Amino acid sequence: MKPLSLIGALLALSLLQACSLQPPKPWQKGMLARPEMTMGGDALEQRFDEHISASKQAASGGYGVGGGGCGCN
Amino acid sequence: MNTHRLGRALLAGLTGLLLAGSAQAAEVGKPAPDFTLAQKDGNSLSLTQLRGRVVYLDFWASWCAPCRQSFPFMNEMHAKYGKKGLRVVAINVDEQRSDAEQFLKQTPAQFTVLFDPAGKAPEQYKPDGMPTSYLIDEHGKVLMVHPSFKEADRAELERRIGEALAQGNPAP
**First CA to last CA across chain A, in angstroms?**
57
Predicted local confidence at residue B14, as pLDDT? 52
Predicted local confidence at residue B154, as pLDDT? 95
Q: Is A10 in a helix, a strand, or coil?
A: helix
| Domain of A69, in residue numbers | 24-73
Q: What kind of architecture, by CATH, is found in domain B27-168? A: 3-Layer(aba) Sandwich (3.40)
Q: In this structure, is residue A17 part of a structural domain?
A: no
Sort strands B54-60 and B36-39 into parallel, antiparallel or unpaired.
unpaired
d(Cα A72, Cα B128) in Å, to the nearest integer?
11
Q: What residues are paired with B46 via a beta bridge? A: B36
Q: Which of residues 16-55 of A touch B (CB under 8 A)?
A: 17, 25-31, 33-34
Number of separate domains in chain A: 1
| Greater model confidence, B107 or A4 | B107
Q: In this structure, is residue A36 part of a structural domain?
A: yes
Name the band, by pLDDT with cuts 50, 70 and 90, for residue B72.
very high
Q: In this structure, is residue A16 part of a structural domain?
A: no
- Is B12 at the interface with chain A, CB within 8 A? no
Q: Angle, nearest 10°, between helix axes B65-81 and B154-168? A: 40
Asked if pLDDT for residue B23 goes beyond 80, the answer is no
Q: In this structure, is residue A38 part of a structural domain?
A: yes
Q: In this structure, is residue A54 part of a structural domain?
A: yes
Q: In this structure, is residue A6 part of a structural domain?
A: no
On whether the CB atoms of residues A6 and B6 are closer than 8 A, the answer is: no
**Mean pLDDT, rounded, for B47-61:** 95
Contact yes or no for B63 and A4 at CB 8 A:
no
- Is A62 at the interface with chain B, CB within 8 A? no
In terms of Cα–Cα distance, which of A20, A34, A68 is closest to B149? A68
Q: To the nearest 10°, the Cα dihedral for B32, B37, B43, B48? A: 20
Longest dimension (CA), chain A: 66
- Count Cα neighbours of B10 within 13 Å in the Cβ-side half-sphere: 17
Residue A22 one-letter amino acid: Q
Cβ atoms within 10 Å, residue A30: 20
Q: In this structure, is residue A11 part of a structural domain?
A: no
Closest CA–CA distance from residue A50 to any residue of chain B (Å): 18
No. of helices (H) and no. of strands (E), chain A: 2, 0
d(Cα B46, Cα B34) in Å, to the nearest integer?
7
Name the band, by pLDDT with cuts 50, 70 and 90, for residue B15.
low
Q: In this structure, is residue A2 part of a structural domain?
A: no
Asked if pLDDT for residue B126 goes beyond 90, the answer is yes
Contact yes or no for A29 and B130 at CB 8 A:
yes
Measured between alpha carbons, how far is residue B139 from residues A45, A69, B44, B54 in Å?
52, 31, 20, 8
Element housing A27 (H / E): none
On whether the CB atoms of residues B122 and B59 are closer than 8 A, the answer is: yes
Predicted local confidence at residue A17, as pLDDT? 67
Domain ranges across chain B:
27-168
Contact yes or no for B127 and A27 at CB 8 A:
yes
pLDDT tens, N- to C-terminus, chain A (73 residues): 577 788 888 787 777 766 678 888 888 888 888 877 777 778 788 888 888 888 998 877 666 665 544 444 4
